Amino acid sequence: MDYAIHSISQGEDFYWQNEKELPDYYQAIDEERLPIQRGYIMTEEDKVRRTTIMRLMCDLGIDYSTLTKLIGVDFREHFAPEIESLDDMEADGLLVKTPEGILVTDLGRLLIRNIAMRFDAYASTRKENRFSRTI
């Protein structure tokens, strides 16, 4: 749990964000309540995608059979459109797709966030400039 202003924390099934403005943060503390501005309860699909993205970014690749066991659904079937969408990144030398999984190249390490975004169901629905730029 993070207590800093504007921080985002997560539990097993949820996220929450603290107040963004210092006066609101202090007011919540003065009123002896948590300075939480908003929260989000994750769906099962959110959890599957969170695990997939975390493993991709930490392991610099995805082993289909390992992820299938970890997330409880057939990875190749569940993420078929996302896997297909990686063709341009493979052509650019950012990753290699094999029958067993996806391997991020040394060049791809520099753009791992961009690769991971292909598995983020919410990436296309977010407002522009909401987060730091990846390039």
Alpha helix (H) residue ranges in 1-135: 22-30, 44-59, 64-71, 75-78, 80-85, 87-91, 106-109, 112-117
Task: For each of the domains in the chain, give its residue range(s) and CATH number, in order of start.
Answer: 8-41 (no CATH), 44-125 (1.10.10.920)
| Token couple for 100 | 């067993």
Query: Which residues are CB-neighbours of 39 under 8 A, at least 6 positions away?
Result: 14, 15, 16, 17
What's the confidence (pLDDT) of residue 131? 47
Nearest residue to 4 via CA among 38, 40, 22, 14: 22
Q: Which residue has the tokens 């964000």?
A: 17
Q: Please tell me what DSSP assigns to residue 4.
A: S
Q: What is the pLDDT of residues 1-28, one digit of tens each?
A: 666 777 888 888 999 999 999 999 999 9
> Residues in the chain with pLDDT < 50?
129-131
Q: Which helix (H) or strand (E) holds 37?
A: strand 36-41
Instruction: Using CB atoms within 10 Å of the CB of residue 22, give its burial: 0 to 12 exposed, 13 to 18 middle, 19+ buried.
Output: exposed
What's the confidence (pLDDT) of residue 81? 97
Chain mean position to CA 70: 16
Rounded to an integer, what distance in angstroms lies between the CA atom of residue 116 and that of residue 38?
A: 25
